[in-house]
């Protein structure tokens, strides 16, 4: 197999997956600081993007113009998707990703996300419209198919490559699996064999050993980490070190871990404002405490505190109970 031709410089090929409500600017920045070949913005609906025309904050949230960031868009109609792609390209996007993998009912009931896998001809019209609308590389993220009776990722990938898609990421589950069961990395191999462009394996990649198994079983050229990075923003860098020989990350321990969490908390408050930022931060604080032996009562206090000053004091107490690291 010849070496993959990446759409832009994506080194190392260990990427952060787009996750709604999670991969916002503060978290992407933190992950990128440890090391990642690519981070992907939260999915943005094309119609929503067109209606609100990104301002300064929205540009930052999407990562427009930020090196090593892909902007993911979703939609069900070709014209709005193309217009949204042109808009974000004009505002600095360096890589645009099309979402055909989101399994959420509110997305699929709108005939977008992974629902597009049920209508591949229509999906290809969307892909062609976006590719023809912009000059930056366009990539695609899908699942294996809608369900076990419709495993059409390889066929869609082949057609998408002919339409001009430069890279494909496959989550090794069907839409109807949502996140249940285990990702079928072996099934991704059919996509790898169907196309010449880079293929990235996604799903259940939570460690370096899992990443290596995913690559071995799928034949993929890289991996994308989603839920495995929750509470462990350094995990991509650890995987990159183990698989591709990049420098080993300085994983924070003890007080350094508490300081990192406090800094992330402060960045969320700055980005969202104190009220919304405090609410958004709770899930991250919970994941961070999952890496620690935080006592139940203290954990509850952290997650129910409504005063940012009080929360910051509690963070220092809560995060010092563990090393703040899990083995890759």
Distances, alpha carbon 300 to alpha carbons 22, 149, 285, in Å: 21, 44, 11
Residues 6+ apart with CB under 8 A from 105: none
Active site residue 102: yes
Q: Is the pLDDT of residue 57 over 70?
A: no
- Say if residues 302 and 311 touch (Cβ distance below 8 Å): yes
pLDDT at res. 327? 40
pLDDT digits (tens, 9 = 90+) for 155-203: 999 999 999 999 999 999 999 888 888 999 999 999 999 999 999 999 9
55 annotated ligand binder: no
87 annotated ligand binder: no
Separation CA 266–CA 147 (nearest Å):
42
171 annotated ligand binder: yes
- Say if residues 143 and 171 touch (Cβ distance below 8 Å): yes
279 annotated ligand binder: no
Please tell us whether the domain made up of 14-244 is placed in CATH 3.20.20.70.
Answer: yes
For the entire predicted model, the pTM comes to: 0.93
**Considering the chain, what is the average pLDDT of its residues?**
91
Q: How confident is the model at residue 108 (pLDDT cuts 50, 70, 90)?
A: confident
Catalytic residue from among 78, 98, 102, 318: 102
User: Nearest-CA neighbor of 320 among 283, 300, 301, 295?
Assistant: 295
Domain boundaries, the chain: 14-244, 254-321
Q: In what helix (H) or strand (E) does residue 129 lie, and over which residues does it extend?
A: helix 120-133
226 annotated ligand binder: yes
pLDDT at res. 325? 43
pLDDT digits (tens, 9 = 90+) for 115-170: 999 999 999 999 999 999 999 999 999 999 998 898 999 999 999 999 999 999 99
The stretch 96-106 carries a mean pLDDT of: 89
């Amino acid at each position: 197999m010849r070496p993959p031709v990446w759409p832009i410089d994506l080194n190392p090929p260990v990427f952060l997956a787009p996750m709604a409500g999670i991969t916002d600017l503060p978290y992407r920045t933190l992950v990128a600081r440890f090391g990642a070949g690519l981070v992907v913005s939260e999915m943005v609906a094309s119609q929503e993007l067109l209606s609100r025309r990104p301002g300064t904050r929205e540009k930052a949230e999407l990562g427009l113009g930020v090196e090593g960031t892909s902007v993911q868009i979703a939609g069900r109609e070709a014209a709005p998707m193309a217009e949204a792609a042109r808009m974000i390209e004009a505002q600095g996007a360096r890589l645009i990703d099309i979402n055909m993998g989101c399994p959420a009912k509110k997305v699929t009931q709108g005939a977008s996300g992974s629902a597009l896998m049920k209508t591949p001809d229509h999906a290809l019209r969307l892909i062609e419209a976006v590719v023809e609308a912009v000059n930056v590389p366009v990539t695609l993220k899908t699942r294996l198919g809608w369900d076990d009776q419709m495993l059409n990722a390889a066929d869609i990938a082949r057609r998408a490559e002919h339409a001009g898609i430069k890279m494909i990421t496959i989550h090794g589950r069907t839409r109807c699996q949502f996140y249940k069961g285990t990702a079928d990395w072996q099934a991704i191999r059919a996509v790898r064999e169907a196309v010449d462009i880079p293929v990235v394996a996604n799903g259940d990649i939570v460690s370096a050993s899992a990443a290596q198994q995913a690559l071995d079983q799928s034949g993929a050229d890289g991996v994308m980490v989603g839920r495995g990075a929750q509470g462990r923003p350094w995990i991509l860098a650890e995987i990159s070190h183990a698989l591709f020989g990049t420098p080993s990350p300085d994983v924070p321990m003890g007080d350094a871990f508490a300081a990192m969490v406090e800094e992330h908390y402060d960045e969320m408050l700055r980005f969202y404002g104190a009220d919304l930022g405090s609410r958004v931060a709770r899930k991250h604080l919970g994941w961070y405490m999952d890496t620690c032996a935080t006592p139940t009562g203290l954990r509850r206090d952290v997650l129910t505190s409504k005063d940012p000053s009080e929360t910051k004091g509690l963070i220092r107490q809560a995060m010092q109970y563990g090393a703040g690291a899990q083995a890759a």
